Amino acid sequence: MRTTTRAVAAAVLAAGAGFVAAAPAQAMEIYDISDATRIAEGAAIEGSFTVSCTAGTQIFVSLNVSQRVSDGFIAHANHSDQWTCEGGEVTLPYQAVAYNRAFDEGPAVVSGFIQECAAPEQFCGMGTRLPLVLINIGDQAD
């Protein structure tokens, strides 16, 4: 019980002295995840996504793409990216290589995660899991 009391007292003193790191502003958001284009007959896909973020923060994004393909199998791919935000909105490309099955033309689901870390303290917030986004995968127009 003494250990708990000491820990609480130390936390209160640290907070009073301003030593507790503040969470970054939750201004980050991913939106406008584009449809994807097949590369090499579905061995990979590419598209783009838009992020809004706070200037000077480190942003980490992870996108997962899944699609039901022939015989009930699932094609799956992942894209991750990390950069220092310059503020406002930025549109970035994504490229994802299929793990186990080639992607077909048709609907797919994108899920993912975004996290913003305040610089220079590098305090990272909890991050945000993205809602499922339905995209369409197609071949590049000739």
For residue 4, the surrounding DSSP H or E stretch is: helix 2-17
pLDDT digits (tens, 9 = 90+) for 90-114: 999 999 999 999 999 999 999 999 9
Domain ranges of the chain: 21-138
What is the C-alpha separation between 53 and 42, in angstroms, rounded? 32
Q: Is the dihedral of CA 94, 79, 63, 21 positive or negative?
A: negative
Q: What is the pLDDT of residue 124?
A: 78
**pLDDT tens string for the chain (142 positions)?**
443 333 334 443 344 443 333 343 445 788 899 999 999 999 999 999 999 988 888 899 999 999 999 888 999 999 999 999 998 999 999 999 999 999 999 999 999 999 988 866 667 777 889 999 999 999 986 5
Q: What is the pTM of this model?
A: 0.75
**Top CATH class, 21-138:** mainly beta
Alpha helical stretches, state H, 18-134: none
Mean pLDDT over all residues of the chain?
81
For residue 115, the surrounding DSSP H or E stretch is: strand 106-118
pLDDT digits (tens, 9 = 90+) for 124-139: 777 889 999 999 999 9
Q: What is the pLDDT of residue 2?
A: 40
Q: What is the pLDDT of residue 12?
A: 39
Residues 6+ apart with CB under 8 A from 134: 107, 108, 109, 110
Helix or strand or coil: residue 110? strand
